[in-house]
Structure 1
């Protein structure tokens, strides 16, 4: 499943006791310019020559209560042929096996393609000092950011210890749940980044308030999300399995207690939490290489691969646990979606 597709927010300037100038950036559907269809699609649409362009210091160990890599954390859970995290088992809906990790890295590539090779949109300083990446996954964003900002102390957290061991010296991975109370010092961070954390928090307003409290005055919070609702301006999704996908994902999230509609809601929630200068940016991601525009064709080609490889993992835990489906029913739906992904008559997209 791959938000307002992306939002950045700033912290208010210091005024009364601890009032802050915190900024927020959100990546949100504001425009709906139709995408032109390429009627001559005859390949996978991927440009195979294209290259892809997750705190140390003052944080004392007694301030951190995050878990170390123990056997309990690496004793993974296996269900329906997929592997899931064991630390705070069931808190996250997606698998963490090799297939899921490859899928996360595909979407990292799509994000960077979308942003023209950039890792973020927030106007942070090049010499930014303290950075936190929430829900880092494979850690690929944090590694790239730490490489690009060697003077920054970067911490990246996740429930699964699936990150590489060979990383830049200014990057630290921690196994932690960002929905619990944070153990970092208040007003100590310059930039907080989050991406694809839909369905990860039961209380996003509380998460934004926690982020706000830990940013320094003038700091930035940026969140990039993908809407789980496929769309088609020409009506080509009508009656398809893909058309069913969005409502089912939203319903599963509601029963799970963690929203998959955060892409559409996050900017307003950031403002309610106290962020100022909330900026919204929206991009259309085609699902398939059907657009005429070369960049959109490339994004669509990778997005189709992401869907084909990812849709089983996105659905299996949620639909069997919270919608009461049998694994075979999930597989029937996802097989239909994969078939539709290859249809030249369907011109679907989603917002990022």
Structure 2
């Protein structure tokens, strides 16, 4: 989900076609690392359910989800702040709407979804991340499930210098936008506060470049990360030098250095999936 043009971090917004391509490539790598799309213990194969994919972008997750459960036609809703990339002719049973995760969802949606999914979007809520999670939680019906994924934003062992700089710059963006860097540690408590139980989480390693044993996914990881680094560099250059951790020289070479490093030695980018069930 992109930031609004009037917010801090507006220069981090990517061109539409770049963002769609990045998300599509990233989606496959994340799915491979997770071993699927859904970790929540929900039966999706026997009856139609009402499902929401928040921060859906062009609906890549929705299309993959629908194809994986083709024998049951679920009612699937996709929501995003930017409708530019919504499919022109979505398949039957799939509905898209414009929605800012920082704002209230439709009143008649509350307590109606069997599954609410959102991935890598909460930085867009800035200091209102908790409110964004609680608003999503309110959409889940009793005994329904929520699944959220966010980056760990931590430095890992044996991380190359370019990837280290990339993570440093990502942390700078979180701070400037007022987002919590330790977000993944906060989410379970917020869900418990919202009336959820069976709260579980799993750390997954998104393997980028040479660390990924699948040659196709290895290339896709380099491609999608380079697009993110390009946008991050633009974001960094738009700010006063004292606001960011990297020098102008490092900002100028970050994308090239990162691409080379990822092809040669690769990297691991940790993410955490949190899922929970709404109490009856």
Q: What is the TM-score of this pair, normalised by structure 1?
A: 0.64
2:278 counterpart residue number: none
2:93 counterpart residue number: 170
Residue among 76, 87, 93 paired with 1:154: 76
Q: CA contact under 8 A between 2:162 and 2:257: conserved in structure 1?
A: yes
Residue deviations 1:189-222, cap 9 Å, x none? 1110001114121222222222222211101000
Alignment of 1:179-328 (within 5 A): 179-185=102-108, 186-201=110-125, 202-232=127-157, 235=158, 237=160, 240-290=161-211, 294=213, 299-317=217-235, 320-321=238-239, 323=243
2:22 counterpart residue number: 103
1:121 aligns with 2:43: no
Q: Distance in 2 between matches of 1:152 and 1:213?
A: 20
Q: Distance in 2 between matches of 1:236 and 1:329?
A: 17
Residue deviations 1:314-341, cap 9 Å, x none? 4423552473689876333333222322
Q: CA contact under 8 A between 1:199 and 1:260: conserved in structure 2?
A: no
Cα offset, 1:311, TM superposition:
1.4
1:144 counterpart residue number: 64
Residue deviations 1:152-203, cap 9 Å, x none? 2211111212122132111111122021011142211111000111412122
Cα offset, 1:287, TM superposition:
2.5
SS of residue in 1 equivalent to 2:230:
helix
How many residue pairs get matched? 259
Q: Distance in 2 between matches of 1:316 and 1:261?
A: 24
Q: Distance in 1 between matches of 2:99 and 2:185?
A: 26
Cα offset, 1:136, TM superposition:
0.4
Q: Distance in 2 between matches of 1:319 and 1:340?
A: 22
Q: CA contact under 8 A between 2:122 and 2:129: conserved in structure 1?
A: no
Cα offset, 1:267, TM superposition:
2.9
Change (3 A) 1:251 1:309: closer
RMSD over aligned Cα atoms: 3.0
Cα offset, 1:248, TM superposition:
2.8
The structure with higher relative contact order (CA 8 Å, sep 6+) is: 1
Q: Which has the higher helix share?
A: 2
SS of residue in 2 equivalent to 1:351:
strand
Which is higher, the Rg of structure 1 or of structure 2?
1
Alignment of 1:58-97 (within 5 A): 93-97=12-16
Change (3 A) 1:314 1:188: same
Q: CA contact under 8 A between 2:13 and 2:231: conserved in structure 1?
A: yes
Q: CA contact under 8 A between 1:256 and 1:318: conserved in structure 2?
A: no
Cα offset, 1:86, TM superposition:
6.4
Q: Distance in 1 between matches of 2:20 and 2:116?
A: 22
SS of residue in 2 equivalent to 1:206:
helix
Q: What is the TM-score of this pair, normalised by structure 2?
A: 0.79
Q: Relative to structure 2, which stretch is displaced further, 158-167 or 103-112?
A: 158-167
Q: Relative to structure 2, which stretch is displaced further, 148-157 or 101-110?
A: 148-157
